[in-house]
Structure 1
């Protein structure tokens, strides 16, 4: 029976592969110490070993080993009577299993832990939670042997509560399941428990199952396996008032219990013998002792819970204190990092500003050089040619004036190309002058809403960009569209200014050329938007928002 009870832990052990054979030997040795302790020190030694093994596994971040260590510690605590400590350790193991979705043989691990929790809740006389734990274990059970064992364990909870009919129903299911496996130990256990349930429902029933269980156990060649069979047969014959036969079986059970030093079975067999042989006072003593035992068990559970809960609260307080210290350390580290980032940002800002200043100076120098070159190439050369013509008397005054007019227009174009908004002049007038410069006999340009806009709401930089974009659009129109009519509508909506440009030119399959790309980049640089629409023979449309 002990081998059967330990079957899940053995299955749980083989789930894991360990790095070294020596470690495997140690695990096996200390596992045996708490499963079948031979001295009072065995449990203590096993606990110390698995506590150390748990710490090592945490350092290695070996989740499987951590779960196994927690499971072993939980079972040792249960043997010590630390029900709530055992439950806490088993719960920690379950949480780790839930997190480790890729854990090898995860179902077997869950089966083992929930089966252990079922035993724990049975010890705590908590029928509801015990049945729930066993039901969960049953859902994960992979073999017939596991399923049969769990069903048998479920039946023991009903037996404890004297729900013998329900216990029999579950055992009949277990019997059908165990027949599919070649497991004599499990079959004998289930038959023995089934016989017990049956004769508690009907005193004449169950003998066949009890005899079959005894026969199977005799074939196991393990004399301690006969203990439960002798005890239950004694109870059966006592139930049927066959006192001498009952005493014979109970005495055989007591003899085996003495040989194996099994105190639990000795208490059970002596209790049954007292009920058979003792007087009324002895019998009343046994019954009261059992009631007191159950009462004390429930009381111990409550006291253990209070003790465990107090320790748990202390542990939570310590964890909160430790977390507060860590939070303070993190806060200090964050402050240091913040100061460091701030210093880096300040240094970066000044470096960036200096770099931009340098770049701005370079751009000014380049711009001045470009303007200087343009003035020299375009204006100076033309003026020199006019001066040469003036030296030749045959050149007429009208011809000289025409040449000067050409030079003036070129100078005006250079000025517009490098124009910077003068904030002292009304922006609507500046835009108006720009638009008028493009009007001609062949082109009519109509504006609407230009003077209704509060241009001061736009920064000087945005106004400069809009001036250049409108110039780009009009220049493109002059070069490519062959338009005879251009309309530009200015409108103020909410916090924005909207400009709609449209011409009746030839249009195109829309491809952005350099001018339009420049216009788009300029508007985007000031946080505005610009869109273009054009089709062959259907004009050109541009919408701007600032």
Structure 2
């Protein structure tokens, strides 16, 4: 599967704390020793904190070298930052680092002597474009790197990466030609390069059903395991799992898929974890899971094509365009000077308007909190007084042989409804781990007839979400799940959680009987809850075709 800017999501604050601690532990080293240490942490990460600590170190180094106007060292820092950001799945940041470094090189009179730097940057750019499914730009970047490469090591890596593009495009025969050509030079390769080439060779052979495939895949695994190449092992276990899956050997496929997941946890890369989880999901026999993977791949690829931010296009803007842009910028600066007093007055006006909205928002928040407190208080009274009293009456009537059993059954139904109302509106302890609480709530609706699947729930930064919004999310999802259990007859429910900038997007979907949205069916309550925190909720359903809800807060 291919993923865009993954996305994806690492708890940056925690990782940077790790990085800071590592920086302190290295304080006694010389700058040269520290640079080498953190370079190795990026190039060959072994522990979860290696990549974030490397990013922290070289970000500081870049700032220092910029102050010293040491352009060569700034370029070096940017190259390592690009590699690290790419490995943790931040493709857009990685691309911007490459473009910044190339712009610095082009500004230097000695740019033609910086061959290694330019080769590495073009190669890195190709790798970024590959993960963004921009295969044409990836091939162009690799070809530019090959044109200026002067040594075998660079050419081997670049040709391998170019062959990987053909593999992505399912042109395995074309890729195999390059892998075999590189494999013929194995005596000149180091262990890292040899493991890389042999693994890719075996993978292409496997897709073409050639007999040496498994032998080469296992050989690459042994080479990488011997050299403690964690990222390389992640690739090897992925290819081995895919090999056994293609051979219908699900036992061995599962063994290597679980190894892939363990390695991704050790690397602590979001993109690697997603790839490992996807591998495990491919082993699931449920056709709905495979349909979900197919649709998710299709949607992800479509979004990547539609939203692909190509920073390198800015790098290729002509000098004439740059001059025009500079002229426009100067005009804008002059215009801003002339409008300084009006801008100041406008800012004061905005402050006044902002103060009004802040006051109104605080008032609305207080009203919402009061509503939730009232719900909790009523739920407690329903439980402590009504439900308990009802239970006492039922107990006393059961001992009276003259009471019709149907009356007792009806009272028991009323007691059960009363208890459910109390439970649905009871207090939420927001001091606990909210992600775990929400997971427990959702999985509480799972049984032999209903499957509930959540995605990215544990990756959401719940600690940064205000308590009022967490309470609202909890109540709305509780209402959706309760509505599903009572009315939908669904057998499969999925909830996908995504962080989109400063907002959180929750997608709910079930395969139930659906409903007529014009009749609302009690959904107005969820709409008012979400609207109270300035969020949006949209429903999509029709009779016999399931139910969907999209929540943005």
Q: Shorter-normalised TM-score: what interval?
A: 0.3 to 0.5
Larger Rg: 1
RCO greater where, 1 or 2, for CA within 8 Å and sep 6 or more? 2
Q: What TM-score results when the alignment is normalised by the length of structure 1?
A: 0.46
